[in-house]
Structure 1
Amino acid sequence: MSRASLTTRRVASQLCLVGLVLLGLCGNQAARGQQVTLAWKLRPGEVFYYLMDTTVTTTVGPAEAENTTKARLVMLYRYHVLETKPDGYALEQTVEDVLTDDKTFLGATYNQFKGLKLKITFDRSFRITKIEGHEQLLKRIGADDPVVGKFVAELVNENAIRQQIQSEFNFLPDKPVAPGDNWQRQITFAVGPLGTLTLQQTLTYEGTVAVASKRLDRISVSAKCAYAPPKPSDDFPLRVTKGELQTDYVKGTILFDREEGRLASAEWQAKYRLKLTVASAKPDGGKEFSMEMTQIQQNRTEVSEERPNLPNLDSR
């Protein structure tokens, strides 16, 4: 196998599930049938911070030749509410800081996000209608690299960024809910030139839970995942001809501060198994080879008015 093919295969292994860039009830739960309204309350000039802490363990290859890597990524976002209007909101997102122990090109890519500013326009349902500033990210990540650059540019294209940010805001029900009520959300992640992952979420309202001196609304999250191979393209030396995704579990918990009108915290865990068949992108196709990957993800998000301290990367 050529050096370029080996490099591309290694890149594909690392990227395959990266985009799956997603989420004990205490006493005094709201009585069954008592409905509540969960809604964001954004105020012009308001500033708040999102601290996202993700650990990913990836195992590549058959059992007799497995290679396992573990990487942690911490990203701190600052949101500034620029405008609230009857038809929506405008926010500025700034990547305040990035910490990672990922030694691959992906770690270097994450570090290029630091200082990036985006202007995001939402409608009243927190669906994104416009993103401004994304082109600055593409300039930073070295998208002109003949192999790696194209992969990374696909992973952080505008639609991928849109899906990630929208999932952080568009998770609340569209109408009042009582404990036990559920609703659906769908998130689609592009995994570069390796295809697309679709996450079909079921969110269930579970009532209130006591946290410190506050009562927060608790939402449980479960999800089913589906994989679709990419469309044929001449832009990459390899192409995925078929794939199979198995989901062991995707589950999480959201705590929402109804009084403040914003997310308080969220955590989720997921385990996926992906099998791909890959061939050369040349017309003759060449010899096919198989890739097998298992990935375990753990994520925690905390939201605060004050800029939080970043954790020690060795603390998890």
Structure 2
Amino acid sequence: MTAHSVILGDWGGTRLRLWLRQGGATIAASEAPGLLVANESPEQILRHALGSLGVTAPLPIVLCGMAGAREGLAEAGYVPCPGNVDQWVGAAVETSLDGFPITILPGFSNRDGGGRPDVMRGEEAQVFGALTMRHAGANGPTEMVLPGTHSKWVRVEDCSISHFATCPTGELHASLLGSSLAPRERQTHSRSHADGFSTGVARAFDGVPLMASLFEARAARVLDHRDGDWSAGFLSGLLIGSEIAAMAPSCALNAVPLLVGSDDLVRRYRSAFAKYGLDCQTADGETCALIGLEIAYAQLG
């Protein structure tokens, strides 16, 4: 490997992704269970992921996300909003594992007008990467939505993360699957699932409170002969639609949100936005995360 080789990593709650980068290109990539689902120590998780990359000689590693949590490799705190790239990189902490020098980037913290706390780890890399891709954020507010286990609604002003809010939509959906509302057996690309998703989104915009709408996932199987796929899709659409209905009014006037995430989630959110009568742009989450991590590595020198 050359002196310009580096291992970049996005360590989430459900999965760890590593990329061996050289000259701006990905040479190899690997995945491992995330910090919240693995039955191993953070050190063992990282060792296994590094082994899958086939790297033997120690290289610098730059990580964002759960690597810096209290239960991670080494605690890296939070940059309070508003915060920019310089503050993000400047608050990084250093550690090592088996001779690999490791830089762990911090997360971001925020409090709303009522003093309620919020935190994120990892999504900030996607935000800063998306800003670089889109050359946005310097001339007015930019709204970003990062769907996932914990969806983030982020406002960027003057290239700083000025505010964000978290909706645990994905976690709620995962928790409801396997309950009496929706059997866990499902095909997420079936026609029945898609029909349930569409119905769920529509229910979210009907104005009926979320808690009063959830049980339709079960009642429709009893009275309308729906199947488990329909129920799973319905819950997904209902939760995503409810998230958008609750959060979209707080977006800056005339702002077109940028959806940053995986293809499947972005497709679902974009469909729900369209049913709500809103336009949005899209960007690939992995690409944005890599760009954000590359920016951090370059500033680390």
TM over 0.5: no
TM-score computed with the length of structure 2 as normaliser:
0.29
**Structure (1 or 2) with the greater helix fraction:** 2
**Structure (1 or 2) with the greater strand fraction:** 1
Larger relative contact order, structure 1 or 2 (CA cutoff 8 Å, min sep 6): 1
